[in-house]
Amino acid sequence: MATLMENDVFMAYTTYATIVIVKMLLMAPMTGYYRMTRGAFSNEEDVALKPVEERKKLLRTHPDVERVRRCHQNDLENIVPFVMVGLLYALTGPELSTALLHFRVFAGSRIFHTISYVGALPQPSRGLSWIAGLLVTFSMAYRVLRIALLL
Amino acid sequence: MATLMENDVFMAYTTYATIVIVKMLLMAPMTGYYRMTRGAFSNEEDVALKPVEERKKLLRTHPDVERVRRCHQNDLENIVPFVMVGLLYALTGPELSTALLHFRVFAGSRIFHTISYVGALPQPSRGLSWIAGLLVTFSMAYRVLRIALLL
Amino acid sequence: MATLMENDVFMAYTTYATIVIVKMLLMAPMTGYYRMTRGAFSNEEDVALKPVEERKKLLRTHPDVERVRRCHQNDLENIVPFVMVGLLYALTGPELSTALLHFRVFAGSRIFHTISYVGALPQPSRGLSWIAGLLVTFSMAYRVLRIALLL
C-alpha cells in the first residue's frame, strides 16, 4: 500500500489524475451558473419557485448552456479514459521524465480545450487540444499493451 | 496483491465503489423500462416488430425517459470521478473511520439523488444531494493532493 | 509495484481494459468522420471556413451522427464501469481462466455491440450484446462484494 504512494511515477500520476478530475467536476457548477444566468432549465421542479407564467419559458435549451454541456461531455469521453489508462501506465514503471511529459501535456491540453470550447475560440484551437490529449492516451495505451499483453 | 484486499480502508473503498457503480448500471434497465412503458425509442431497429403505421410515432422522446437519462448522465458525471479519486484516496492511507464517513455520505447522497431525480421531488432535495456527493469527492481530492503532490 | 504487473490475472485485466478503452476512444474520430461526410456540426466555429450561406444549414443534427453518438454514450455507460469494477475484481485474486472468460466475453460483446449499433443490425443483436456485457460486470461486482465486503 505505502509502496505505491512512495513511487515517484505513481505520485505524479496521482497528482495529474486528481487535477484533471477536479477540472472535469467543475464543469457541473459552470453549467449551473449558465443555466441560472441564461434562464434555461431542464426540470420542472427547478423552476417551481418562479411565477407560473414564467415557468414554461424557462424550460428550454440555451446555446451557451449546451456549449458548456458539450464541453463537459467531451471531458467525460477523454479524461475518464486518460485516468483509467494512466493508472495501468504508471504501474508499468515508465521513466519519471517520460511519464511527467505525458501527464503534463494531457493536463495542459485539456485545460486549453476547455478555454477554447467555452470561449468559442476559432478552430483549430479546440481540435488540436483535443487531439493532443487523445495522442497522450494512445501513447500510454501502446506502452501498457506492449508490456503487459496477456490475451 | 493480497495486501490491498487485507487493508480495511481499501476493502471499504471496494465495497462502496462497487455499490455505487451497480446503482449507476441499474439506470440503463430503468431507461429501458420507461422506453417500453412510455413508447419512446431512439432507433428504427428497436421498433421494427411494431405495425408500420405505429413505428414513426414510437420514434420520439418522452419526458419520463429524458428524466431518467439525465439522472443516468448525472451519475456518470459524479460517480465515475468518485470511484477514480476514491481509489487514490484509499491508497493515501486515511483513518478507517474518516474514509467510511466519506464513502457512506457519498453512497447515501447518490441513492437519495436518484430517488429525488426520478421521483421529481421538490427542490432543493436533488440539488443538496448532488452537492453533498460533490463535496465528498472534493474532500478526497484535497487529501490526495496534499499527500501525493508531484507536479 | 512490480508485483501487480507480474500477476497473470492483473496482466489479463490490463490487456482487456486497455483494448476496450481504446475501442471507446475510437468512437470520437468516428463521430468526426460522420460529422464531416454528413455535414452536421454543433459549433459555429466548426463551420467558420464554409461560405456564409452554407453555415446555418450545417449546424444541424443528422441521424447517422446521432447513432454513433448514442453508441459512444452506451460505451461510456458500460465500458467505464467494467474497467473500474474489473480492477477491483482482478485484485480479489480470481482464477486466471475465470477472469479471462469474463474479460473476453466483455470485450467481444462490446465490439459486437458497436458493429450492431453503427450498422443498425436487426434487434435483438444489439440488445443481447449489451446484456452480455452487463452480466459480466454484475458477475465481477458480485465476486468483489462477496470477498471484500466492509460496510
pLDDT of chain A along its 151 residues, tens only? Answer: 557 778 899 999 999 999 999 999 999 999 999 998 998 889 988 888 888 888 888 888 999 999 999 999 999 999 999 999 999 999 999 999 999 999 999 999 999 999 999 998 888 999 999 999 999 999 999 999 999 888 8
| Cell 473500474 found at | C84
Dist CA B11 CA C149 (whole Å) = 7
State the Cα–Cα distance between residues C151 and C149, nearest whole angstrom.
Answer: 6
C2 has a pLDDT exceeding 70: no
Nearest to C4 among B1, B24, B43 (CB): B1
* pLDDT, one tens digit for every residue, chain B (151 residues): 557 778 899 999 999 999 999 999 999 999 999 998 998 899 988 888 888 888 888 888 899 999 999 999 999 999 999 999 999 999 999 999 999 999 999 999 999 999 999 998 988 999 999 999 999 999 999 999 999 888 8
Report the alpha-carbon distance of residue C151 to residue C147 in Å, rounded.
12
Q: What's the rounded mean pLDDT across residues C79-94?
A: 96
Are A148 and A88 contacting, i.e. CB atoms less than 8 angstroms apart?
yes
Nearest to A81 among C19, C24, C46 (CB): C24
C144: confidence class by pLDDT, cuts 50, 70, 90: very high
Q: What is the pLDDT of residues A70-96, one digit of tens each?
A: 999 999 999 999 999 999 999 999 999
Give CA separation, C27 vs A93, B41, B50, B116, C66, in Å. Answer: 29, 22, 30, 33, 12
Mutation pick from B77, B113, B115, B118 vs chain A, by most beta carbons of A within 10 Å, is B77
Residue A51: exposure state from Cβ atoms within 10 A (0-12, 13-18, ≥19) = exposed
Closest CB from A5, A12, A84 relative to B91: A5
List CB contacts (< 8 A) between C120 and chain B. Answer: 43-45
Q: Compute the mean pLDDT over every residue in chain C, rounded to the nearest whole number.
A: 92
- Chain B partners of A14 at a C-beta cutoff of 8 Å? 88, 91, 144, 148, 150
* C76/A78 touch (CB, cutoff 8 Å), yes or no: no
Instruction: Give dist(CA C27, CA C84) in Å, integer.
Output: 20
For residues C134 and C46, the model is more confident at: C134
The pLDDT tens digits of the residues spanning C56-70 come to 888 888 999 999 999
Please provide the distance, in angstroms rounded to a whole number, between the alpha carbons at the two ends of chain C: 28
Chain C residue whose CA is closest to B16: C151
Chains that touch A (3 or more CB pairs under 8 A): B, C
Is residue C73 very low, low, confident or very high in pLDDT (cuts 50, 70, 90)?
very high
Tell me which DSSP letter residue A149 carries. Answer: -
Residues from chain A that touch C36, judged by Cβ atoms under 8 A, are none
A123, C24: Cβ pair inside 8 Å? no
pLDDT of A2: 54
Q: Which residues of chain B have a CB within 8 Å of the CB of A8? A: 150
Decide if A28 and B78 are in contact by the 8 Å CB cutoff. yes
The answer to whether the CB atoms of A11 and B150 lie below 8 A apart is yes
Q: A7, A14, A55: which to substitute to probe chain B, counting the most B Cβ within 10 Å?
A: A14
pTM of the model: 0.94
- Per-residue model confidence as pLDDT tens digits over C26-49: 999 999 999 989 988 999 888 888
Element (DSSP H or E) covering residue A87: helix A63-91
Task: Give helix B63-91 / helix B125-147 axis angle, nearest 10°.
Answer: 20
DSSP tally for chain C: helices H, then strands E: 7, 0
What rounded mean pLDDT belongs to chain A?
92
How large is the ipTM? 0.92
- Considering only CB atoms, A149 lies closest to which of C15, C48, C84, namely C15
